[in-house]
């Protein structure tokens, strides 16, 4: 089975071009936002667009729920696709999807910049921001049951064959998810720091965070920090434990995808001070 990743920022037009990219690369299945799609039909999964919040949407798209995960894995095993196109907002996201669904390694990665001009990408982002509209590469009738009561709009997809000639390669649907009506939310860098710092100071091996920097991008979280540790412990094992625990808590806390997490040991103390919250 060929496995191809299609990567681009949220709202850049991936789903709009998914059918075309799949056809051009002879891939018969698509995984997009929690759905397994074959020839314009939903084979398995649940649409992340139906989640009540953006955090829930991210978790559904990454197949965090075991029942959701198993339904798609069983469908892949049953239908034995020749090839699958996996959509994601970053390399890390498509890698996590492949790992969750046990699909193996990617044969190829295609980026939105490879198939769309900067102007087209900006126009797609503007539509997402201004109107909150999301595209799902299946016909509207396929989505009626999952999206009862939602804004649905059918959209035909054509490919130019020659002058004045077009080939219809499928229908897509424009959806406005529930969470897009509720406005935006933000999580401050200080809130992220507080969560990280709490998980550090409760560890007997750690004294405190002495420097903290983070960048929260649409593709994931980047963290770089210095810590002061307590003498007498295995420093490498303690840092690994801290890193794993913090990534787990950031995921549970707000569905953060951590792309990079660097911890630098800057100093040692010989006796741990009482934690100050």
- Asked if the structure places residue 276 within a domain, the reply is no
Token pair belonging to 3:
């496995």
Assess if residue 104 is contained within a domain: yes
Confidence of residue 139 (pLDDT cuts 50, 70, 90): very low
- pLDDT at 277 (0 to 100): 55
Structural domain boundaries enclosing 232: 189-269
- CA 218, CA 162: separation in Å to the nearest integer? 38
Q: Of 126, 152, 181, at which residue does a domain stop?
A: 181
Q: Pairing relation of β-strands 134-136 and 165-176? A: antiparallel
Last residue of a domain, one of 181, 199, 222: 181
Q: Are residues 194 and 177 in the same domain?
A: no
Query: Among 150-164, 168-182, 196-210, where is mean pLDDT lowest?
Result: 150-164
Same domain, 55 and 137: yes
CA distance 192 to 94: 24
* Residue 44 predicted with pLDDT over 50: yes
Contact 173, 47 (CB under 8 A): no
Q: How confident is the model at residue 186 (pLDDT cuts 50, 70, 90)?
A: low
Whether residue 145 sits in one domain with residue 9:
yes
DSSP letter for 275, please: P
Q: φ, ψ for residue 67 (rounded to 5)? A: -65, -45
Please identify, among 181, 205, 229, the residue that sits at the C-terminal boundary of a domain: 181
pLDDT score recorded for residue 127 = 63
63 with 118, same domain? yes
Do 156 and 226 sit in the same domain of this protein?
no
C-alpha distances out from residue 178 to 13, 147, 172, Å: 20, 10, 19
Task: Determine the Cα–Cα distance for residues 239 and 223; give it in Å rounded to an integer.
Answer: 14
Tell me 32's DSSP state: E
Q: Is residue 275 part of a domain?
A: no
Q: Do 152 and 199 reside in the same domain of the chain?
A: no
Question: pLDDT, tens digit, for every residue of 5-41?
Answer: 999 988 788 877 888 898 899 999 999 888 898 877 8
DSSP 139: -
Residue at 40 is within a domain? yes
Instruction: Please give the Cα distance from 28 to 83 (Å, whole number).
Output: 6
- 160 and 87 belong to one structural domain: yes
Neighbours of 55 (CB within 10 A): 17
How many domains does the chain contain in total?
2
Q: Are residue 62 and residue 108 in the same domain, yes or no?
A: yes
If you average pLDDT over residues 212-238, what whole number do you get? 85
pLDDT in tens, 69-88: 999 999 999 999 999 999 99
The pTM (predicted TM-score) of the whole model is 0.54
- CA 231, 235, 237, 238 dihedral sign is positive
> CATH no. for residue 202?
3.30.70.1350
pLDDT recorded at residue 52: 64
């Amino acid at each position: 089975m060929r496995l191809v990743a299609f990567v681009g920022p949220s709202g850049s037009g991936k789903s709009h071009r998914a059918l075309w990219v799949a056809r051009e690369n002879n891939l018969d299945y698509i995984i997009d936002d929690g759905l397994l799609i074959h020839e314009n039909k939903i084979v398995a999964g649940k649409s992340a667009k139906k989640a009540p919040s953006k955090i829930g949407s991210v978790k559904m798209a990454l197949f965090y729920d075991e029942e959701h995960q198993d339904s798609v894995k069983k469908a892949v095993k049953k239908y034995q696709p020749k090839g699958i196109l996996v959509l994601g907002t970053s390399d890390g996201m498509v890698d996590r999807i492949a790992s969750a669904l046990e699909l193996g390694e990617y044969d190829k990665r295609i980026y939105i910049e490879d198939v769309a001009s900067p102007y087209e990408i900006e126009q797609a982002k503007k539509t997402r921001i201004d109107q909150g509209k999301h595209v799902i590469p299946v016909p509207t009738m396929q989505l009626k049951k999952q999206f009862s009561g939602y804004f649905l709009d059918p959209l035909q997809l054509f490919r130019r064959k020659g002058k004045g000639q077009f080939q219809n390669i499928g229908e897509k649907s424009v959806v406005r998810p529930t969470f897009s009506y509720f406005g935006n939310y933000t999580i401050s860098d200080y809130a992220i720091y507080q969560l990280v710092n709490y998980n550090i100071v409760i560890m007997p091996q750690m004294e405190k965070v002495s420097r903290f920097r983070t960048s929260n991008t649409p593709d994931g979280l980047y963290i770089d920090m210095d810590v002061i540790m307590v003498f007498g412990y295995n420093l490498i094992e303690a840092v690994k434990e801290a890193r794993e625990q913090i990534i787990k808590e950031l995921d549970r806390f707000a569905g953060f995808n951590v792309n990079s997490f660097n911890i630098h040991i800057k100093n040692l103390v010989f006796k741990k001070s009482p934690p100050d919250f």
